[in-house]
Every structure is written in structure tokens, then in C-alpha cells.
């Protein structure tokens, strides 16, 4: 929208809560058969990727999201060698996965080729060359189809960097019990799954749907969340495994594994991960 303050982004953060952000500059706009993609600069948040008027990542706080999505699952596994990413078009999740020197192959699957090419062209500050890493393999296809066709017990870690479970009917199958059972099939004996799960505060029933499906599929599960300023809401993450308890790793072991693998982070460490687990799930109090 525009007005006395110039161009603004009016983002629906929750059903009854909207976020208004000032747009300082629009660098590029493209459309795909799936969505509209914008690269812009936002007042207070810097360069940002915006898809269908929803902020996906900003310079100021993308590390909060991507580090919390990736590193707890990677650290929980004793030696993650093969990693699957469903979604993650801007390449920042891939960037964080490749920080671990144990990784020999990182497969990223995204349905929209326009987002991937747009990100390669304009968002180097986010992907930091991760698409060109020899360990990376990028497939443009439906994540459901890729998982259905992948071999048994191939991956050590599966990371779901998806649109929110309430974003539309197209996203919902990727949060279903059946899909999690398919992912479990392609995970090795110490396999770990992690997914972003939307906002438990603003979309409680949708979050409970995701958490319940994962709970029915995996023996161990842990939930954590953090407020993302540019999103205007809390983002939840769920980590699960059949053999590795996400609550079993100590802050010291967490930091030791990051150090041994040469991983440097801006936010997440063992103490913060442990603290987020202790906080539990944020939901309305009424």
C-alpha cells in the first residue's frame, strides 16, 4: 500500500493482527506460476525476500530462523553425512547445513524454479554461494514426489523449510502423518527430522495438527519456538527421531559438536537451545 509514508508492506501476521513495514527500495519483482517474488529493502530490517506479500527472510533476523531450523537437528545426529532439505528456495538453509564439515551431500528440493533462480541472481548475501558448493544437489520438483521416490534409509537428517501449514491446501500434505511416515522411511537408523511448524500462538489448531502427526510417527519429539521480529509472530520448530532424544544433548555437547565441525553461528548455541526447550510452546492464555 502507499500513503503519506510512501510505499509500505501490509502483512497479515495473524488472523486478527497485521504488520506494517516501510519499503525503502524495490530491487526486483518476478512472477512464477506459483507466486510473486520480490527483493526489497525494508526500513529497520534491510534487504528482504518477500513472497506473495509475506516476508520470507530479512538481513536483520534471518539467522534466528535458519540457525534454529538447521543446527539442533544437525547437532543431534552424531555424524550427518547426507541431508535433505524440502523447500528453502533462497538457499540460506542450505548455507547453514553446509557449515557442518561432516556433510558429504546436501539435497535441496523446491517446487518453484523461479524462486531458486531469483535467489541465485539477487540473494547472494543470503545463500553465500551455497548453490555452487560441490556437495549441493538441487532438484526442482514436488517434495512429496521426491520423498516418495527416494531410497530407503538414505538420509541422516531431513529439514522441512516449508510454507506455513495454514498457507493453503497445497502446503497441508507436507505436514500430514502420511508424509512424515514417508520421510521416516528414507531416514537412516539415527535419522532426525525437523520442520518449521508455523505459529502456535496465532494458529494454535494448525500447529497442534502438525505436532500430533509427528508425535504419532516418531518415538522422540521436542518443540521450541522464537519470536521473529520481521514476521511479527513466533515461529515454532519440531524436531523428532526414533532413536535420538532431542532433549538428551547437553549444552556442552551441543557447543562441542559445533566447534568440532567448524560451525560458526550468530545466535544459536547449546545454552540457548536448552533454554528454548525449557520454555515450551507459546499459546494464547485464554
Q: Are 48 and 55 in contact (CB under 8 A)?
A: yes
| CA nearest neighbour of 100 among 133, 123, 60, 63 | 133
The answer for residues whose C-beta is within 8 angstroms of residue 63's C-beta and 6 or more apart is: 265, 266, 267
| 117 assigned to a ligand binding site | no
Active-site residue among 161, 189, 242, 245? 161
Q: Are 64 and 100 in contact (CB under 8 A)?
A: no
| 3 assigned to a ligand binding site | no
Strand locations in 98-219, DSSP E?
Answer: 105-110, 136-140, 155-161, 187-196
| 5 assigned to a ligand binding site | no
Strand order in the sheet with 233-241: 136-140, 105-110, 82-87, 155-161, 187-196, 233-241, 220-228
Q: Which helix (H) or strand (E) holds 96?
A: helix 92-98
| 90 assigned to a ligand binding site | yes
| 110 assigned to a ligand binding site | yes
Say whether 255 is catalytic.
no
Cα(28)–Cα(234) distance, integer angstroms = 28
| 128 assigned to a ligand binding site | no
Instruction: Report the number of secondary-structure helices (H) and strands (E) in the chain.
Output: 9, 13
Q: Which sign, positive or negative, has the C-alpha torsion 105, 106, 109, 110? A: negative
Beta-carbon count within 10 A of 193 CB: 24
Binding-site residue positions for S-methyl-5'-thioadenosine: 35, 110, 142-143
* Residues catalogued as catalytic: 161
Binding-site residue positions: 35, 66, 90, 110, 142-143
Amino acid at each position: 500500500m502507499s500513503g503519506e509514508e510512501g510505499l509500505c508492506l501490509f502483512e497479515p501476521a495473524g488472523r486478527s493482527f497485521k504488520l506494517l513495514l516501510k519499503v525503502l527500495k524495490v530491487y526486483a519483482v518476478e512472477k512464477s506460476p506459483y507466486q510473486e517474488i520480490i527483493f526489497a529493502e525494508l526500513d529497520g530490517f534491510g534487504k528482504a525476500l518477500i513472497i506473495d506479500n509475506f516476508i520470507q527472510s530479512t538481513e536483520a533476523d534471518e539467522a534466528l530462523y535458519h540457525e534454529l531450523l538447521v543446527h539442533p537437528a544437525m547437532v543431534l545426529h552424531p555424524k550427518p553425512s547426507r541431508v535433505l532439505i524440502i523447500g528453502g528456495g533462497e538457499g540460506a538453509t542450505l548455507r547453514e547445513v553446509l557449515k557442518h564439515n561432516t556433510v558429504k551431500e546436501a539435497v535441496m528440493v523446491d517446487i518453484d524454479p523461479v524462486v531458486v533462480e531469483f535467489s541465485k541472481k539477487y540473494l547472494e548475501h543470503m545463500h553465500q554461494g551455497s548453490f555452487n558448493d560441490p556437495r549441493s544437489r538441487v532438484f526442482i520438483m514436488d517434495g512429496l514426489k521426491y520423498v516418495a521416490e527416494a531410497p530407503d534409509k538414505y538420509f541422516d537428517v531431513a529439514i522441512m523449510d516449508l510454507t506455513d501449514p495454514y498457507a493453503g491446501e497445497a502446503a497441508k500434505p507436507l505436514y500430514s502423518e502420511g508424509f512424515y511416515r514417508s520421510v521416516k522411511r528414507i531416514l537412516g537408523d539415527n535419522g532426525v527430522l525437523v520442520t518449521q511448524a508455523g505459529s502456535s500462538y496465532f494458529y494454535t489448531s494448525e500447529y497442534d495438527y502438525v505436532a500430533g502427526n509427528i508425535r504419532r510417527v516418531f518415538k522422540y519429539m521436542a518443540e521450541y519456538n522464537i519470536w521473529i521480529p520481521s514476521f511479527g509472530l513466533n515461529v515454532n520448530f519440531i524436531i523428532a527421531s526414533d532413536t535420538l532424544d532431542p532433549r538428551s544433548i547437553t549444552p556442552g555437547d551441543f557447543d562441542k559438536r559445533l566447534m568440532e565441525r567448524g560451525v560458526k553461528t550468530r545466535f544459536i548455541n547449546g545454552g540457548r537451545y536448552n533454554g528454548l526447550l525449557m520454555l515450551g510452546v507459546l499459546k494464547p492464555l485464554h
